[in-house]
A and B are shown apart, each in its own frame.
Chain A
Amino acid sequence: MADVPRDPDRPDEPDRRGDMPPHGRDEDRWDPVVSADGRTLSGFELPEYDMDRDLGDGTTSRDWLGRFTPDRANLPEVSLDEARDHIAEYADERPWLAPARDREPEVQRVFTALDVGQGHALERHDGYPTEPMVERRATFLEDPAQLDEAKRERSEDAFHPGRTHRCGEYATRIWEPDAFATAFARGIEHPDVRRALDRPFDPDRRPPDVAIPVVDLLGPDGHRFCAGYRLEPVGGSAEAAVDCRAHWVDAQRRGQEPDAPEPKAAPIDSFEGGRIAFFFRPTRSRDGYEVATMYVEPPDQPRKGA
């Protein structure tokens, strides 16, 4: 567990806030109603990300980001200057770019490359979605990528018009933009991800997803830059909770009285021991594969042999 300051108002209670940051960098977007455990947030300090810190093997984020080129991820080439201009021009209308606005050019290049690609990692899993947005994705299937507020409140998927957004039992993000960019730049060089990206193309086939320990991509304390919410079980079952949520959201969309309990979610205490998953999809030019999404899984998604 990371060294997170305890709530000074309740010094004797165990701190269940774990590594979760209470908010993004934009204080105005923070809704205190959904703070972790309903506590006040005083005393909570966001960890700072150091681009030069040792990631555990003598390399740094600066190393990985410096050697990143979009073509290694089968994404369109983007120069550092083009990345800077892209973020300056589009960050207002594409808010998932905003976290990279004040970041180093190498970070901006990762964000821009992902934005011009077809994947949805930025829109749903970077520092753009606020804590309330992440919680509402887990509970009410509100898609952070959906920029039409009315459609988002109706749980309409941003990339599947008219269809209900889908989400598993948890919604997560790597909220720190330098950490997010590092996870991607380093992840695409991992042998298992390379195997997927370099696989001979078949338009109907997807390489299986790959999950890499957070520590392998972001170093020993990398989990501190991850956050998310997990749907609360129904009758002790996550499977039932996901089923009930689907019924509840469907009833809401139809304007009917839900016959399932209102979904609730709780902050995930810590991502220590978690993994970063990479899903794959065909490139726009349909001649290879790119990363469809990258997101962090909490540690209690055990994998055999892990």
Chain B
Amino acid sequence: MGQEFPPTDPDSQFATLIRIARTYCHPEADEEAYDALKRLAQRREDQEMSTFKNELRRAIQDPAQLPGNELFRAVQYDDGSAEKFLRRLWRDLYGDEPVESGDGEQSE
């Protein structure tokens, strides 16, 4: 069987984050993909992107929660660490919007 990366894992806290990051940020993704993700991120009513944003927020607040080096293996970023990649991603997608959890806790 073929398989999307990562496969749907109902127990994973970051399945949407990792899947979307791989789809749009992997070096083999097409050259327009990252800009497409920036536009997608502006769709406030999009359920998948809402989940993605929440997972990105949680991952930035506590990168240690990310499973092993799964994010690097999926995305192959060249930022040097998951935290740096995630913060760049947040900045590119959401600009100066503070990283904060749903209950208002602020990270930066």
* A and B: bona fide binding partners: yes
Give residues in A with beta carbon < 8 Å to B.
118-120, 157, 159-160, 166-169, 190-193, 203-212, 216, 238-240, 242-243, 245-246, 275, 277, 279, 281-282, 292-293, 295, 301, 303-306
Nearest Cβ in chain A — how far from B86, in angstroms?
13
Q: Is B103 an interface residue (CB 8 A)?
A: no
CB neighbours (8 Å) of B2 from chain A are 190-193, 210-212, 216
CB neighbours (8 Å) of B36 from chain A are 203-206
Q: Are A301 and B22 in contact (CB-based, < 8 A)?
A: no
11 sampled A-B residue pairs with Cβ under 8 A: A160-B31, A167-B27, A190-B2, A192-B2, A208-B4, A209-B26, A238-B72, A243-B78, A275-B3, A293-B30, A304-B7
Tell me, in angstroms, the Cα distance from A168 to B77 when the chains sit together. Answer: 8
Tell me, in angstroms, the Cα distance from A119 to B31 when the chains sit together. Answer: 10
Q: Are B33 and A206 in contact (CB-based, < 8 A)?
A: yes
Nearest Cβ in chain B — how far from A200, in angstroms?
14
CB neighbours (8 Å) of B3 from chain A are 192, 210-212, 275, 303, 305-306
Nearest Cβ in chain B — how far from A134, in angstroms?
14
Contact check: which of B19, B40, B76, B80 meets A168 at CB < 8 Å? Answer: B76
Nearest Cβ in chain A — how far from B63, in angstroms?
13
Q: Are A304 and B76 in contact (CB-based, < 8 A)?
A: no
A279 with B29: in contact, given A209-B5, A212-B2, A239-B69 (CB under 8 Å)?
yes
Q: Are A208 and B23 in contact (CB-based, < 8 A)?
A: yes
Contact check: which of A157, A207, A238, A279 meets B28 at CB < 8 Å? Answer: A279
From B81, which residue of chain A is reached at the shortest CB distance?
Answer: A239
Give residues in B with beta carbon < 8 Å to A.
1-7, 9, 19, 22-24, 26-33, 36-37, 39-40, 69, 72-73, 76-81
A204 with B31: in contact, given A168-B76, A242-B76 (CB under 8 Å)?
no
CB neighbours (8 Å) of A191 from chain B are 2
CB neighbours (8 Å) of A305 from chain B are 3, 7
From A246, which residue of chain B is reached at the shortest CB distance?
Answer: B78
Nearest Cβ in chain B — how far from A87, in angstroms?
24
Contact check: which of B1, B4, B78 meets A245 at CB < 8 Å? Answer: B78
Tell me, in angstroms, the Cα distance from A209 to B27 when the chains sit together. Answer: 12
Nearest Cβ in chain B — how far from A111, in angstroms?
19
Q: Are B77 and A242 in contact (CB-based, < 8 A)?
A: yes
- 9 pairs of A and B residues whose beta carbons are closest in the complex: A168-B76, A192-B2, A243-B80, A166-B27, A246-B78, A281-B30, A212-B2, A208-B4, A292-B30
Q: Are B5 and A168 in contact (CB-based, < 8 A)?
A: no
Tell me, in angstroms, the Cα distance from A219 to B92 when the chains sit together. Answer: 43
Q: Are A168 and B26 in contact (CB-based, < 8 A)?
A: yes
Tell me, in angstroms, the Cα distance from A209 to B21 when the chains sit together. Answer: 11
Q: Are A208 and B78 in contact (CB-based, < 8 A)?
A: no
Tell me, in angstroms, the Cα distance from A174 to B106 when the chains sit together. Answer: 48
From B22, which residue of chain A is reached at the shortest CB distance?
Answer: A209
Tell me, in angstroms, the Cα distance from A208 to B74 when the chains sit together. Answer: 12
A277 with B28: in contact, given A208-B4, A242-B78, A304-B6 (CB under 8 Å)?
yes
From A192, which residue of chain B is reached at the shortest CB distance?
Answer: B2
CB neighbours (8 Å) of A306 from chain B are 3
Tell me, in angstroms, the Cα distance from A304 to B100 when the chains sit together. Answer: 30
Q: Apart from A209-B5, A304-B6, what are 11 other A-B pairs with CB-CB below 8 Å?
A: A204-B36, A204-B37, A210-B2, A210-B4, A238-B69, A279-B26, A279-B29, A279-B30, A282-B32, A292-B29, A304-B7
CB neighbours (8 Å) of B9 from chain A are 304
CB neighbours (8 Å) of A239 from chain B are 69, 72, 80-81
Tell me, in angstroms, the Cα distance from A246 to B84 when the chains sit together. Answer: 14
